[in-house]
Each structure stands twice: as structure tokens, then as C-alpha cells.
Structure 1
Amino acid sequence: MTQVRRVKRPVDGVLLLDKPYDISSNGALQKARWLFQAAKGGHTGVLDPLATGLLPICFGEATKFSSYLLDADKAYRATVCFGRTTTTGDIEGEVVRERPVVFNREALLAAMQTLLGEIEQVPPMYSALKHQGRALYEYAREGVEIERAARRVTIHSLTLLSFDGNEAVIDVVCSKGTYVRTLAEDLGEKLAAGAHLTGLRRTATAGFRLDDAVTLESLEALDLPGRDALLLPPDVLVQHLPAISLDERQTQHFCHGQAVRIDEKCETMSRFRVYQWQTRKFLGLAEALDGAMLQPVRLMAS
């Protein structure tokens, strides 16, 4: 029986997806891309299969600006179990050590305070970080330990939501590159009890919130127009940049990759969102040259 080829569409926009448990970020991306019949798509930073929550997905022209989300701060809700350390730092690993949990809430809060600000963090072996072209978790599964250099990350805030004497729920706001599993393990060591993650949910990134995300099940229940209505425009990824509008003549030159002169003075090397003045159509990104010229650096397709 001949299989009907699925037609792919030129879809442009950003989908805020609530990634489910036990599926990779790429798996969630491919499922969403299939549902939208999108010709092109990419995610904006990997979540572990264990982790759930906010995973912004970019389709079409939005992929040109996805790097701005990779560099953004992140927020997570972590469930930390004390008294056990595992090979992976989470519930999927084997228990390697057990210790009694003898600290109280006040000691936990004090230990959390010591992890705030800039800290050094060694990436876990069970991570997607590459070494000689292979992910570290591939070496870990073979029993091979690779030496990893410590990285400097920033923990902006740690908020204790609950603690029952054994398990804590903590809200974490951190910089890119932070491994919350490692943070939980470090917290456990400071309390001489050890710890591992039993749950991790991303709640925010780059101004986007989990409250506004949609599940794959909800997407499946919609038709294509309903799914398309959930997409945010590509320029939502660069809202932190100042905006400049161009007239029709400037727009023509700009869209052909030519620098255009503007009336206002801008600091050299500053980056801007650029729009067509009358239609408010998003044209792309530009960099200021010599204070009064705008050089295109990333253009939307015409």
C-alpha cells in the first residue's frame, strides 16, 4: 500500500510547549513539528528527559533568532530528595550511597544561602555535554569517567516552598548552563546527607512562563488553524532589544542587505529590532554603525 507523503508547510512562529516526562527535547520538537506540518523547526535549549515544563519551539523564520533564548536566564521547580546519592543525580540512576537526614529547615535554608550568586559547578557525567564528538552520558554508560572543568554559573535565587524532613521543593532562578541536578547534589553535600532530584520542571525562560504553554495532548486535539493560533510572532524572541522603524525607501535598501542612514543617533554596535513604519512588519535585526547607519545582521525572508 502506497503511503501518502505528508505535505510540509512554511510555518513561522514560536510555540510555548509544556514538555512531558520521559521524552527528549528533540522528540518533543519532532512531535510538535509533525503536528504543525512545519518545514523547519528547532528548540531553544535541551531539557533532560526527566525534566518537564517550558520548552519554547521555533518554526521557520523564528529559528533565526532562537540563540537569544539559549543565553537567557531560566527558572525551575526542583524536588530534591535528601539521604541518597545516585549515579545520575536523579531518580533514574542507581543508589550509590545512603546517609541519615538529621538537619532541620533552618539548616537547609542556611545551606541554600551559601549557593547563591556566582558559583563553580562541575558538569555531571550524565549530561549532553560533548567530549571528542560524543555526549558525556555515552561515556558514563560505558563506565568511563571524563575529567570536566568547572564552569562559573549564577544562582540568582533559591526559594524553599516545602520541606517534610526528607524531601524539599525549591524554586531556582539561574543563569544558562546551570545543572540543577548538580546544584541538588552540592546542596546535599553541604548538609552531609547527599541528595538527588526526583522531579524537575522548567517554569520560565526569557520572560516566557509555563502558565502560557500548551501540552502535546492539547495540540493533538486541535485542527491546523487552531494550532496556528497558538503561535507567537518571531520578533517575540527579541523584545528585549530597542525598536527602530524605517520608511518605504529605507525598507527596500535594508531588505536587500544594504546599510541605511537614520535620523537618530545610536551608540555604535548597538543592536535593534527593525520594522517597516507603515505596516509594522518585522524586518529583522540591525547593528548601528558610526552612530547613524543601520547595518542588517539578520533578515526575515521577504
Structure 2
Amino acid sequence: MQTKPEKKQRLLIDGVLLLDKPVGLSSNDALIKAKRLLNAKKAGHTGTLDPFATGLLPLCFGEATKFSQDLLDADKTYETVVHLGVRTSTGDTEGELLEQREVDVTLDEIEAVLERFRGEIDQVPPMHSALKRDGKPLYEYARQGITLERQARRVTIHALELLGYEAPYLRLRVTCSKGTYIRVLGEDIGAALGCGAHLQTLRRTQVGNLTLDGCVTLDQLTEADDVQRERMLAPVDALLSSFPAVSLPEELAKRFLHGQRLALGRESVELPDLQSRVRVYALESGRLLGTAMLQAYGVLAPERLVAGRGG
């Protein structure tokens, strides 16, 4: 009688993989591949990239998944090539051709239009998106040829930079708030120029304080051995680098890990000047304990705590 092969035990791995997602792969497929290669027990991503897009996709493992929301809410930077004069059903290269027009615009006209899209703008989410209506993603309706009314959302374009223009291709760098659709931005710019447009390429270069520096590809992850793969992970607090740090001596660290609010005003603990979200460490070991809100009068209120692994 044949015995079943033993199921490989998943590992408790904590950290962040800065993945350079390839074109043609969904964010979830990229996560599944990376999770399998690292043999990790728990993993999640920090906001999706469309299959046709490439670039920075931070993947969280173990305790890092507790802080993925911070990156979902973070500003993001993209570089994109907008193909003027051609509209598609999805606003990118994956859709069907809807319309072609002649492109006859000047740099001055482009700059004038770009200025209209800087700052706070209203944007209608695309039908080809994962937003849900009655429990079903909009893209499922779109695939059935159904178009639903969508409400405009207020988003912020912090920076919109013209990198180059060789007709009909417009190269842009965009830094924007969460919830911004670069496909829609490209289409709206094309409409404002009177010729229509879709995205030819889209690459994410920054999420919060994280950049493409130190990014790895799935090919590099595949070719590495187990030890090398774990070394490719950034520490959990890579997600929290924008928060001020507070270090607690041993007794206060224990109380913090029990979820106790700490009145630090009379303690000899160095605190940031402003009331804000902070990352909290154990002074002696340097271990990340979690995040907290630093409130008035030096009160530290725990938010998310990090479980220790072993001793």
C-alpha cells in the first residue's frame, strides 16, 4: 500500500518582499507564487496592480500582514506611457479598440491640460475594475456588456510631470492618493486634448516610502535557494519607516505587549514632539513591538502588536 507523501510544513516567516511584478500576472497570482517559493504560512499584498502593469508590489508575510493597511492608504507613484488618439474598452492595451483619431496637439496644449489634473480632482471609477456592486466586481458586469452608473470619487494628484512627448506617445510621472485610477487619468487627459487615449504601459515606482530599490523579480526568487530567499525579505518595520520611533525599557515593553496604555510623560523615554502614530521598539533588544498612537500628555495607546517568534 502506497503512503501519501508528507505535506510540506509551511513556515512562520515575518517580513516584506519588495516584488517587481512582471507584466501579464495578476497581483494575487504573483502573491501565490512568492508564498509558495518562500513556503510561507501567511501572506498578503498591499493593493493590486493590473495584470498589464509592472513594478513595485510589496508582499507582506507573517506579522507584516498586520500593517498592510498602512500601504493600502499610502500615496503611490507611477510612470506611464499614454497612447494618444486611440481609445480602448479597458483604457489600456488589454481592451478592444473603440476609436482612433488624428493626434495634432502641441506641448503647450499638453501642459495646459495637465495643469487641470493637478491637485484634487473628481474621477469616475472604470467599469473594468475590482470595485464591487451587489457583491460582484464591476469587471464581471463589463464582460457581460453591462455598464452601470458609477459615482465620481475625489482623489488627489500630488504631482503630474511630463517626462517626454513623441507623438502619439506621452510619458508621464504621477504621484497620487489611494483610489486613483491611472487608466482613467490617461483617458481623461486624452478626452481633454480632444483625441482620446489609453495607457500603453504602466509601472509603479513607489508606495509610501518604499521604492524599487532592493526590488526582486519572481525569476530571481525562483533561482535562489531557501536561505537566499529569506535574505530577500525586508524587515516588518520597512512598512513603518514614515512613523517616528519610540523605544521602551523592558518593564514598559512588557506592559505595552499586554495592550496597556502607558503614561510616558513622567518616564525617561524619548518621545517625538508631535502627537502621531509611532512605531514602538524594545530598547534593549531593538525588536519591533508594534504601532501605537502617541496622545496628549505622553500617553502611548497600543494599536497593532507584533508577536515574538521564540525567545
Does the 8 A contact of 1:74 with 1:206 survive in 2? yes
Deviation at 1:267, TM superposition (A): 8.1
Identity score, percent: 49
- In 1, distance between residues paired with 2:55 and 2:32? 16
Deviates more, 1:131-140 or 1:101-110: 101-110
Does the 8 A contact of 1:267 with 1:291 survive in 2? no
Deviation at 1:162, TM superposition (A): 2.2
Deviation at 1:201, TM superposition (A): 0.6
Does the 8 A contact of 1:268 with 1:290 survive in 2? no
Asked if 1:287 is matched to 2:293, the reply is: yes
Give SS of 1:88's match.
coil
Deviates more, 1:188-197 or 1:153-162: 153-162
Change (3 A) 1:3 1:139: farther
- In 2, distance between residues paired with 1:242 and 1:277? 15
Deviation at 1:240, TM superposition (A): 1.5
Deviation at 1:57, TM superposition (A): 0.4
Does the 8 A contact of 2:209 with 2:241 survive in 1? no
Which stretches in structure 1 are left out of the alignment for 5+ residues?
A: none
**Counterpart in 1 of 2:302?**
296
Identify the match of residue 94 of structure 1 among 96, 121, 130: 96
1:60-79 map, 5 Å = 60-79=62-81
1:64-213 map, 5 Å = 64-213=66-215
**Counterpart in 1 of 2:30?**
28
Does the 8 A contact of 2:11 with 2:41 survive in 1? yes
Render the CA deviation track for 1:10-59: whole Å, top value 9, x for unaligned.
00001100001111100000100111101000000010011111000000
Does the 8 A contact of 1:268 with 1:287 survive in 2? no
Q: Which amino acid aligns with 1:272?
A: V
Q: Which amino acid aligns with 2:282?
A: Q
- In 2, distance between residues paired with 1:157 and 1:287? 29
Deviates more, 1:101-110 or 1:142-151: 101-110
Q: Which amino acid aligns with 2:301?
A: Q
Give SS of 1:119's match.
strand
Deviation at 1:143, TM superposition (A): 1.0
**Counterpart in 1 of 2:231?**
229
Change (3 A) 1:293 1:104: closer
Change (3 A) 1:21 1:299: same
Give SS of 2:40's match.
coil
- In 2, distance between residues paired with 1:220 and 1:8? 17
Change (3 A) 1:261 1:81: same
- In 1, distance between residues paired with 2:79 and 2:175? 9
Q: Which amino acid aligns with 1:146?
A: L
Which stretches in structure 2 are left out of the alignment for 5+ residues?
A: none
Give SS of 1:226's match.
helix
1:242-261 map, 5 Å = 242-261=244-263
Deviation at 1:251, TM superposition (A): 1.4
- In 2, distance between residues paired with 1:140 and 1:3? 44
- In 1, distance between residues paired with 2:166 and 2:229? 41
